[in-house]
Structure 1
Amino acid sequence: MKYTILLILIFVVLITIPWKSHPEKIQVEEIPPQDTLAIAIHDLFTNEYSDLDETKRLDNTIERFMRQWEIKGASLAIMKDGKLIYSKGYGYADEENGIKTDVNHIFRIASVSKLITAAGIMKLVENGKLSLDDKVFGEDGILNDTTLYYPIKDKRAKNITVENLLRHQGGFTARYGDPMFNPVDIAKKMDVPAPADLNTVIKFVLSRRLGFTPGTSTNYSNVGYGILTKIIEQVAGEDYERFIQDNILIPAGCYDMHLAHNLYEERYLNEVRYYEQADADLIRACDGRDTLLPRSNGGNNIEALSGAGGWVASPTELLCFLAAIDGDDSYPDVLSQNSINTMVSCPGFSLPIGWMKTNGRGDWLRSGTLAGTSAMLKRQHDGFCWAFVTNTSNWTGPHFPQKIESMVYQAMNRVKEWPDRNLFDPAYCKNFHDKKKLLADDRSTKFGPPLPDNI
């Protein structure tokens, strides 16, 4: 009965919404499982809401930046004092099919994913399920389940704590390359089929010596956040993605954030196509085939990145998430003030938890880069917060978010007066918010029936 009612609701939505005629005709069989109602609301909140005279100079700055760096598509969302005041897509989400970027397109967000994972860990701490001081490996460790079987070569690994991993102090280094981006070589060394999954990568790094004693130094580590992914699953007793969605994202109002897939053909309906610089090298397919592929489309094993860099999201929902972990009462938080304070603190010379940079004035920043994408999420002490994501990478790699930060600062300064509104308020785009509520009420829609091909 419940499923029948849901189908009726979807049918009503489809026949009553004034759907735009999209140039793309994505074949239904190419669409991977996704929340059906999230697809249905795709056109209810569009660029038109931020096509304003007051922000024309901001638009011009962003478009000039995109031309300079040959960026195919990008999206920006801006929040002020907990209110979403601007959200807009630029360029092409899929140039080959003539699909322009709109506010609802979702992108790979690379290491911004680490902030999501960190929030999940802090939620488990609040719930009394674990402590930041808990040991991760060894006889008394969280991951001591015999079914996981993590062989430890360096006894110092038994002293790694949850907080060590959160602050990149677990002892892991990229001295011989980042293991999260060597799925074929690691699979061969561990005698398993390629690509090496996250569990295999963790086994591999533990079968080698650590680069330093845990807690004594700081070295940015993707594999550390991969291990945190497994900690969440072990402690919560459920799938990482489902736990994060049900306990962090949906309570924050984020209904269209998911773990990414490796190939363009496996994308979500409203996910962008990814592009790399013209001279980017092809690499061997991550599944071990003797085929050269772009890193962004089958070269890198994005799926194994998981909590270290595997999420897709729109800038608008990234700001929903940020508003729920900022300690500001204007938008309900999903974490306690104590947890938020712990995350932005930097004891000694450590990094903050989840964030990349924080300071005493209240500026918090999280960036991320992958082949095919660059992302930045920033909270400013003046009440402005923003998220900017591209579907194109360039030769500057992890340094590109710094250029994004400078550009967005310049673009925002060109706006003399911001609109006095809140796009998060149901008074705006009421149908959009109503349908999002329906999605939250029934999680069974994730593997629902395919939609007609005229969307």
Structure 2
Amino acid sequence: MPAAMAGFDTAMKTYTAERNISCAQLAVAKNGKILLARGYGSYLKNGATVLVQPTSLFRIASLSKSLTAAALARLAQDGKVSLGDKVATILGLSTTADPRLASVSLWRLLQHTGGWDRDVSTDPLWNDPAISTALGVPFPLHHADIMKYATARKLDFAPGTKHAYSNYGYMLAGRVIEKLSGMSYESYVRQRLLAPVGITRPRLGRSLAAEAFSTEVPYASQFTRKSVVDGSGATVPYPYGGFNMPNQDANGGWVASAVDMVKWGFVFDAAGAVLNKTSISRVFAKPEIGMNPDGSWYGLGWHVRNNNVGALNTWHNGSMPGTFSFMARVQNGVSYCAIFNRREETGTPDFDSIDPILGRAISTVKTWPTTDLTSRYF
């Protein structure tokens, strides 16, 4: 590890020790060069101890949203759709239960202003038992079941009037991508967004431990749930069947490594093989409701704010049982991604503090390394 980057390493070791995190990753870049990539911790697999590698796969949860939003930006770039087009029209959703659904554009879907508020009506992506009961359908649920359930209910607010984070909106975005591209959501993202920039590891995750990929870490949680991936009624570890991972695809279903995500972030630095200048400006554009009171806003798959050097800071976190992730692109070309195999639970310190912790680590770097590690991992 470059000595100049030791502040990042110390920060990660302290953070993981305080939270009893067994597997973690960090990647740091500057001006399009990956300067640090580390795995932390180990796990047992088939009786052997496996060290976490910089390329080990982790569930990244809502960091997935930047992929989904970029996919729709790319489809618009290619003339397949306008971001002003309406999701109900594209997907043939009934607006009988709430005519306001007809006004939900792709912009509103991706900027979380579509009218769904999980604090009011719960999150359909995390409400399998209620949906199964309401529709009289067995586990596992499918996207069509979730859409049938949600479409039959009123929106929680008038579209375009406020921001309310919506996994369901991004799940719908995934279905739009499939409809417009004629490809599976996963195939479109991998072939049209990731392959052109040499990123090949990310893929959609699976629910059960037995289905994990060969280099995927295990996930830890103190909680259990009744399985929603079969009809057994068995009590299972929350990360392994307590929720339906395939249904999370476009809103939080990817597995990747921190170096993959940092390299993915380079796509938004300048026009290139994936997004042109217009598309990038759309990704970071302010929504119709303007900025939040703190001066930030939600673009297309990224939180955004103006920074102190005349550019934009963009970031996102991800959280699901057994996963916490954070990625940021900040001033002076610095970007970083950290991923962990557990999230904040009862009795654990705040996990969101990783943001200022890594921010402070930047200031410990007196001279940035010049060796680009990208070719080592791609």
TM-score with structure 2 length normalisation?
Answer: 0.91
Equivalent residue, structure 1, for 2:255: 312
Equivalent residue, structure 1, for 2:53: 102
Contact 1:352/1:358 (CA < 8 Å) preserved in 2? Answer: no
> How far is the alpha carbon of 1:196 from its aligned partner?
1.6
Choose from 343, 351, 367 the match for 2:298: 351
Q: Deviations over 1:300-319 (max 9, x none)?
A: 11110110000011011111
| Distance in 1 (alpha carbons) for counterparts of 2:332 and 2:340 | 25
Aligned to 1:256, what secondary structure does the other structure show? Answer: coil
Equivalent residue, structure 2, for 1:438: none
Equivalent residue, structure 1, for 2:293: none
Contact 2:86/2:103 (CA < 8 Å) preserved in 1? Answer: yes
> How far is the alpha carbon of 1:193 from its aligned partner?
1.7
> How far is the alpha carbon of 1:223 from its aligned partner?
0.2
| Distance in 1 (alpha carbons) for counterparts of 2:8 and 2:192 | 36
Contact 1:274/1:373 (CA < 8 Å) preserved in 2? Answer: yes
> How far is the alpha carbon of 1:56 from its aligned partner?
3.6
Contact 2:304/2:312 (CA < 8 Å) preserved in 1? Answer: no
| Distance in 2 (alpha carbons) for counterparts of 1:333 and 1:374 | 30
Contact 1:358/1:365 (CA < 8 Å) preserved in 2? Answer: no
Q: CA RMSD in A?
A: 2.0
| Distance in 2 (alpha carbons) for counterparts of 1:135 and 1:177 | 23
Higher strand share: 2
Kindly report which structure 2 residues correspond to 1:410-429, keeping only aligned pairs within 5 A, or say none.
Answer: 410-424=360-374, 426=375, 429=376
Equivalent residue, structure 1, for 2:274: 334
Are 1:181 and 2:126 counterparts?
A: yes
Choose from 228, 239, 243 the match for 1:286: 228
Aligned to 1:296, what secondary structure does the other structure show? Answer: coil
Using the TM superposition, name which of 221-230 and 263-272 deviates more: 263-272
Aligned to 2:331, what secondary structure does the other structure show? Answer: coil
| Distance in 2 (alpha carbons) for counterparts of 1:267 and 1:359 | 39
Equivalent residue, structure 2, for 1:386: 336
| Distance in 1 (alpha carbons) for counterparts of 2:338 and 2:69 | 20
Contact 2:11/2:361 (CA < 8 Å) preserved in 1? Answer: yes
Equivalent residue, structure 2, for 1:21: none
Using the TM superposition, name which of 182-191 and 345-354 deviates more: 345-354
| Distance in 1 (alpha carbons) for counterparts of 2:313 and 2:346 | 24
> How far is the alpha carbon of 1:289 from its aligned partner?
2.4
Are 1:126 and 2:70 counterparts?
A: no
Are 1:76 and 2:26 counterparts?
A: yes
| Distance in 2 (alpha carbons) for counterparts of 1:74 and 1:256 | 17
Choose from 103, 110, 113 the match for 2:64: 113
Choose from 306, 312, 319 the match for 1:362: 312
| Distance in 1 (alpha carbons) for counterparts of 2:337 and 2:11 | 16
Task: Mark the CA change 1:204 to 1:86 in structure 2 (over 3 Å): closer, same or farther.
Answer: same
Equivalent residue, structure 2, for 1:172: 116
Contact 1:90/1:101 (CA < 8 Å) preserved in 2? Answer: yes
Choose from 227, 230, 246 the match for 1:303: 246
Q: Which amino acid aligns with 1:171?
A: G
Contact 2:34/2:373 (CA < 8 Å) preserved in 1? Answer: yes
Contact 2:226/2:242 (CA < 8 Å) preserved in 1? Answer: yes
Q: Which amino acid aligns with 1:161?
A: S
Aligned to 2:146, what secondary structure does the other structure show? Answer: helix
Q: Which runs of 5+ in 1 are unaligned?
A: 1-50, 434-455
Task: Mark the CA change 1:102 to 1:263 in structure 2 (over 3 Å): closer, same or farther.
Answer: same
| Distance in 2 (alpha carbons) for counterparts of 1:55 and 1:118 | 32
Contact 2:5/2:36 (CA < 8 Å) preserved in 1? Answer: no
Kindly report which structure 2 residues correspond to 1:12-27, keeping only aligned pairs within 5 A, or say none.
Answer: none
> How far is the alpha carbon of 1:416 from its aligned partner?
3.1
Aligned to 1:394, what secondary structure does the other structure show? Answer: coil
Query: What is the identity percentage for the equivalent residue pairs of Structure 1 and Structure 2?
Result: 29
Higher Rg? 1
Q: Which runs of 5+ in 2 are unaligned?
A: 291-296
> How far is the alpha carbon of 1:142 from its aligned partner?
0.6
Equivalent residue, structure 1, for 2:148: 203
> How far is the alpha carbon of 1:219 from its aligned partner?
0.9
> How far is the alpha carbon of 1:401 from its aligned partner?
5.2
Kindly report which structure 2 residues correspond to 1:233-248, keeping only aligned pairs within 5 A, or say none.
Answer: 233-248=178-193
Aligned to 1:382, what secondary structure does the other structure show? Answer: helix
Equivalent residue, structure 1, for 2:35: 85
> How far is the alpha carbon of 1:415 from its aligned partner?
3.3
Equivalent residue, structure 1, for 2:163: 218
Task: Mark the CA change 1:235 to 1:413 in structure 2 (over 3 Å): closer, same or farther.
Answer: same
Aligned to 2:39, what secondary structure does the other structure show? Answer: strand
> How far is the alpha carbon of 1:185 from its aligned partner?
2.1
Are 1:143 and 2:78 counterparts?
A: no
Task: Mark the CA change 1:273 to 1:337 in structure 2 (over 3 Å): closer, same or farther.
Answer: same
| Distance in 2 (alpha carbons) for counterparts of 1:94 and 1:254 | 27
Task: Mark the CA change 1:161 to 1:151 in structure 2 (over 3 Å): closer, same or farther.
Answer: closer
| Distance in 2 (alpha carbons) for counterparts of 1:358 and 1:250 | 29
Task: Mark the CA change 1:102 to 1:194 in structure 2 (over 3 Å): closer, same or farther.
Answer: same
| Distance in 1 (alpha carbons) for counterparts of 2:274 and 2:351 | 27
TM-score with structure 1 length normalisation?
Answer: 0.76
| Distance in 1 (alpha carbons) for counterparts of 2:23 and 2:202 | 19
Aligned residues: 364
Equivalent residue, structure 2, for 1:259: 204
Task: Mark the CA change 1:208 to 1:344 in structure 2 (over 3 Å): closer, same or farther.
Answer: same
